[in-house]
Structure 1
């Protein structure tokens, strides 16, 4: 099982954005419904948490939240008690997610996503690759994001060019500069490592 715990960065500066973020996640919830064991909810203060059955969905959620300036912890492990809500549930996976988010919001983390799992070696490997993706994202321009956001949904470069009203070559150039291919290639690797981090609980 996988638990994603996210804590809003600089909440005193930006105010409580929990309800805003939960609302923005509604389409994500609809798409991933079959793999969402317990949906994102406010747990305490400006923190949200979800329980998921699939590692790729956990990685996708974490990257979405990090882009919105949230510190995110992914826990991969077993659940002892699954209640009606994530906050009322218990198990090692929740403790791992707590440790992960606390590390993610510390200055020791170069990118605000950390993975903790029952297999710590695989969890550390997943975190390392996530931080490489984070390094790519930090240098990505708005035009680069325009292309990346469309390609990640499965659109082709030609379809993206038509939608944006630019040439295929322009899309190709944006993909290269933004490191989109590298990120898309890394995502299944990260998901596999997160899955393996759950150990026998996966």
Structure 2
């Protein structure tokens, strides 16, 4: 199988998307070393061209990207629009990876449904939409459970050529968190993430400053 992993993150190679895609690739490779996997970054002109070539040549293409609030990056939307204009006879299996810093599944659900429709409009089989929240801390070494899930999904795809809906539902997690859990998550993110960044940059004591407020 020839598989191309397309990184649609505006952060490019320094984002969380390539880490997630690499763990998916590890799972695919663990099934068979004969699977040929390449990567490309949509934010780079050469990577954009390679992604278009993969759509016309490879057996499967995975498009991964983060959400900003509830919106996909403009570069990903542009790529899908170009695919719509350049449809040929080749129809690779399309997979999607959508992740968000917000922990609730509701933030990724609508984009997931849109991507399933996009695959149908491109007349391509949809191998599955992997979506989940709480991805912001992955580059800092957090959320090992998600990385293990990505490897497991890679193995599943390497064997079956598609992803099981139950596996995808488990990855998506809870649709909405209860109010007390949301409060706990907000406190933890403030104390262990934002406060740490403020202290690192010497700005913690000025965190309530309002320099743009009229005097």
TM over 0.5: no
Query: Normalising by the residue count of structure 2, what TM-score does the alignment of the two structures yield?
Result: 0.29
Question: Which structure has the greater CA radius of gyration?
Answer: 2
